[in-house]
Structure 1
Amino acid sequence: MLALNSDKTKKSTKKDMLQWIMNNAIYFILIALLLIIIAISPDFLSVINLRNILSQASTRIIIALGVGGLIITQGTDLSAGRLVGLAAVVSASLLQAPDYAYRMYPNLPELPLFVPIILVAIITGLFGLINGFIVSKLNVTPFIATLGTMVIAYGVTSIYFDRPPYGAQPIGGLDPRFMNFAQGNIMIGNFMIPYLVIYATIITIIMWVIWNKTRLGKNMYAIGGNPEAAAVSGINITKNLLILYTIAGVLYGFAGVLEAGRVGSATNNTGFMYELDAIAAVVVGGVSFSGGIGTVGGVVTGVIIFQLINYGLAFIGVNPYLQYIIKGLIIVTAVAIDTRKYIKKK
């Protein structure tokens, strides 16, 4: 009898170990990729590269926090990248240096930085509100709803971008104040911390409070976990989804402003595919498409891991088209593992 119990215990332990390995397979894959990158180019592990990775990850974190909250409600947002592009183009056009020869608005006076930031936040927030309305009131699936607004946002951005007299050329010559706002650094001890990292940290703290300490956050998890039960318990699903999609839109707007300042210019293709990077990073960070599961810390971790891989692949000279294939495989693998875990729980 003791031998039989011992065999059952060993089998159970082995089964649990295999289950744990399968549930965390995506992390092993990403770590293996990272080790390969380091083996090919040990110079990848440098302070400069780390700073660049954190700077690039900062805008992605802000985008991913918007997308992540929607995925927790069993939604998604394919319009995120195009709204980032819209915000980047509008903010860049309003914040060109006064002495730049090719200003989009030659007679526009020098604006305070906060004016374009608030303006683009309102614009992208309205797009988010429209997404929320289509999803919650018209009962259109989030995938289709945000696919439609993604195309609309790109059209709006392209029309605005391709304006006379200069036509479709990158909007550059940005105001030095704007460049410093996005590209500046602050010394803390012996470390130089980019402003972008500080902005992302502030947004992360705000979103952590919203997700964990507010009624909206509790409702978000309840809606994602079981929409029918949430409705029966008295949660106004429409109202909460409208707010969540609007918040996501505002986050995309702020990320777009920072992205324009970080790069130093903007075009109608700014933000291209950012939504897929965000979705991949969010799922890698433990946010489940089954709804009701996910943390701010997980989102941030997922973005940083994914950005390490993105930057590393470019650093070692991997063909950009091959990078898309690798990203696609990561997304499919992450979602497949998430789906498997959900089925197992059921």
Structure 2
Amino acid sequence: MSATTTTAPAKPRSLNIGRLLLEGRAFFALIAIIAVFSVLSPNYFTVGNLLIMSSQVAIYGILSVGMLLVILNGGIDLSVGSILALSGVVAGALMQGVEIDALGVILYPPVWAVVVLTLCVGATVGAVNGVLVAIFKVPPFVATLGVMYVARGVALLMTNGLTYNNLRGSEALGNTGFNWLGFYRIGGVPISVIVLAVVALAAGLMLARSAFGRWLYASGGNERAAELSGVPVKRVKITVYAVSGALAAVAGLVLASQLTSAGPTAGTTYELTAIAAVVIGGAALTGGRGNVRGTMLGAFVIGFLSAGLVIIGVSSYWQTVFTGAVIVLAVLMNSLQYGGGPRKG
């Protein structure tokens, strides 16, 4: 006689409103910001203004994607604002022409060469961060803090504290088109927003569907366990910091193109904005948890909030207070959501 077993039907999951609000905080915050400022200013929620705000948010968003990758790995990158400035200065210097003393001539690289060389500079500086953290075991906070000062100092030395202006280029010199990133549109959408969309989509696909994405989550969640499982932890660390530096260079190119100028003080405190966007988007600062979708929402929350405060005429001092309050609230909610975070080994 065979025994039969019965399985109790699974209980339907009850809707937890508190958890829903906690996990979707960035989305609900963005909706609330749009609703409030639309009431306070009729010009806020218009197609033209939304495109302008999105173009400004693009810089924060591109930086935030790189920061997300680093934070998922359990690190932090305080140098992205300085890398942004250094990259802009490098692009500005190249647009001014490279003097060859031996030949007595000045070479003006085409814009595509300026972009490629600038991206190489950003990726190289980011890779230095990665090597310091992965190979020499320097704490990420200390390593990137030092590189932050070095990158900013090099930018100041290159310009002697001045700013490169009028970076549009010249047809006669064959280097026109630098302002294409900042001013041109495709189908009414700013190029900078399209660049952000491409970066976010590529990062999202990489995290969701590639072996590297699985390695990144694994090493950020529990580095020791990931290493024992065969994950190339050091290579992952160096790569994410290099990608963060390259994306900071992209943001620097976009900003310099929008302003048609590049200076050594650009990007000051942008690293804090990028970290805030990642935290508001629900990523755990302890690593291993987070996604691109939330980070994009976090970047738009900060950008749309700042733009709204400007539109209704709030003092810049109060803008800082409001933005800081939002960040503190996001960190508190992050703590409620994740508690102590994943164990590091």
Identify the match of residue 308 of structure 1 among 298, 301, 304.
304
Pairing 1:161–2:159 present: yes
Identify the match of residue 226 of structure 2 among 218, 222, 230.
230
Could you tell me which residue of structure 2 aligns to residue 118 of structure 1? Answer: 116
C-alpha separation between the residues in 2 aligned to 1:334 and 1:149? 27
What's the CA shift string for 1:268-305, capped at 9, x where partnerless? 11111111111111111222213211122222222122
Could you tell me which residue of structure 1 aligns to residue 4 of structure 2? Answer: none
C-alpha separation between the residues in 2 aligned to 1:226 and 1:217? 14
Pairing 1:260–2:256 present: yes
* Structure 1 letter corresponding to 2:92: A
1:178 is paired with a residue whose SS is: coil
TM-score, L = length of structure 1: 0.84
Could you tell me which residue of structure 1 aligns to residue 182 of structure 2? Answer: 182
Could you tell me which residue of structure 2 aligns to residue 80 of structure 1? Answer: 80
Gaps of 5+ in 1: 1-11, 99-105, 163-167
Identify the match of residue 318 of structure 1 among 314, 319, 322.
314
2:164 is paired with a residue whose SS is: coil
Identify the match of residue 272 of structure 2 among 276, 285, 294.
276
* Alpha-carbon distance change, 291 to 323 in structure 1, aligned in 2, over 3 angstroms: same
Q: Comparing both structures, which one devotes a greater share of its residues to helix?
A: 1
Gaps of 5+ in 2: 1-12, 99-103, 170-175
C-alpha separation between the residues in 2 aligned to 1:327 and 1:86? 26
* Structure 2 letter corresponding to 1:109: L
Could you tell me which residue of structure 2 aligns to residue 8 of structure 1? Answer: none
Q: Is the 8 A contact 1:92 1:257 kept in 2?
A: no
Could you tell me which residue of structure 2 aligns to residue 60 of structure 1? Answer: 60
TM-score, L = length of structure 2: 0.85
Could you tell me which residue of structure 1 aligns to residue 143 of structure 2? Answer: 145
* Alpha-carbon distance change, 186 to 97 in structure 1, aligned in 2, over 3 angstroms: farther
What is the root-mean-square deviation in Å for CA atoms of aligned residues?
A: 2.5
Percent identical pairs in the alignment equals 30
Shift of 1:86: 0.8
* Structure 2 letter corresponding to 1:266: A
C-alpha separation between the residues in 2 aligned to 1:111 and 1:97? 7
C-alpha separation between the residues in 2 aligned to 1:216 and 1:29? 31
Could you tell me which residue of structure 2 aligns to residue 3 of structure 1? Answer: none
Q: Is the 8 A contact 1:96 1:173 kept in 2?
A: no
**Higher mean displacement: 131-140 or 255-264:** 131-140
Q: Is the 8 A contact 1:26 1:330 kept in 2?
A: no
* Structure 2 letter corresponding to 1:180: W
Shift of 1:30: 5.3
Could you tell me which residue of structure 2 aligns to residue 170 of structure 1? Answer: 163
* Alpha-carbon distance change, 124 to 35 in structure 1, aligned in 2, over 3 angstroms: same
Pairing 1:202–2:195 present: no
Could you tell me which residue of structure 2 aligns to residue 165 of structure 1? Answer: none
Could you tell me which residue of structure 2 aligns to residue 40 of structure 1? Answer: 40
Could you tell me which residue of structure 2 aligns to residue 7 of structure 1? Answer: none
Could you tell me which residue of structure 1 aligns to residue 283 of structure 2? Answer: 287
